[in-house]
C-alpha cells in the first residue's frame, strides 16, 4: 500500500482597499501613483515573515496574486479615491499615465510579519508636481500592528492591507 501525501494548496492574496464604501465627490485633483520601488527581499511572490532580526522566511503556500509593486500602487490609488475623492491612477506596465496634477512615489522598505506577532510597514513616499517633478512634500511612514499569529497568512494579508490604508491616508492628507 502506498500513502498519498496531499500537498497544501497555495493561497493567493491581494491588497484590499479601505472599508469606506462612500465614494466622495471627486475634486479637480488627480494623481498618478508611480511604480513602487520594492526592497529586493520583498520582490517575490511569497508573503514574508522575519524570524529574529535578520532571517527572512518566505511563506511556502501564501502568494501575492499580483506583483507587489503593481498591487501596492493599485491599492494606494483605490484608497485615495475611496477615502478622499482624489482621482488616482495606478501604475500599469506598458500603459502611459493619463494627465494628472501630482505624482506619488513610494519606496517600500519593510512589509512583513515578524515571528513575535508584529506586522510592519515602512515606506518613504513623496508627492511631486507632475509638471516640474518638484518635491512638494514627503516623509517616512512606519506602521506596526501586533496580534498576528505567525503562519496565519490570510491574517497577515489583512493586516498589511490595513497598513496600506493608513499609508494612503497619510498621503491623502498631504495632498489635500
- What is the domain-level CATH number for residue 105? 3.40.50.10610
Q: How many domains does the chain have?
A: 1
* 20 falls within a domain: no
Interstrand relation of 55-64 and 46-51 (parallel, antiparallel or unpaired): antiparallel
* 13 falls within a domain: no
pLDDT band for position 95 (cuts 50, 70, 90): confident
Q: What is the pLDDT of residue 134?
A: 86
* 60 falls within a domain: yes
Q: Which of 97, 72, 86 has the alpha carbon at shortest distance from 29?
A: 86
pLDDT in tens, 136-154: 999 999 999 999 999 999 9
Amino acid at each position: 500500500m502506498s500513502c498519498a501525501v496531499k500537498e497544501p494548496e497555495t493561497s493567493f492574496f491581494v491588497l484590499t482597499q479601505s472599508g469606506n464604501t462612500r465614494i466622495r465627490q471627486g475634486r479637480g485633483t488627480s494623481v498618478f501613483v508611480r511604480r513602487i520601488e520594492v526592497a529586493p527581499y520583498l520582490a517575490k511572490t511569497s508573503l514574508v515573515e522575519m524570524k529574529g532580526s535578520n532571517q527572512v522566511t518566505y511563506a511556502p503556500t501564501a502568494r501575492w496574486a499580483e506583483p507587489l509593486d503593481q498591487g501596492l500602487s493599485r491599492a494606494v490609488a483605490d484608497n485615495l479615491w475611496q477615502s478622499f475623492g482624489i482621482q488616482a491612477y495606478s501604475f500599469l506596465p506598458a500603459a502611459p499615465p493619463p494627465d494628472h496634477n501630482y505624482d506619488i512615489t513610494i519606496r517600500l522598505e519593510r512589509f512583513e510579519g515578524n515571528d513575535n506577532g508584529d506586522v510592519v510597514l515602512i515606506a518613504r513616499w513623496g508627492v511631486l508636481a507632475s509638471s516640474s517633478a518638484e518635491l512638494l512634500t514627503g516623509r517616512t511612514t512606519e506602521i506596526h500592528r501586533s496580534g498576528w499569529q505567525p503562519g496565519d497568512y490570510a491574517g497577515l494579508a489583512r493586516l498589511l492591507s490595513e497598513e496600506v490604508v493608513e499609508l494612503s491616508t497619510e498621503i491623502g492628507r498631504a495632498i489635500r
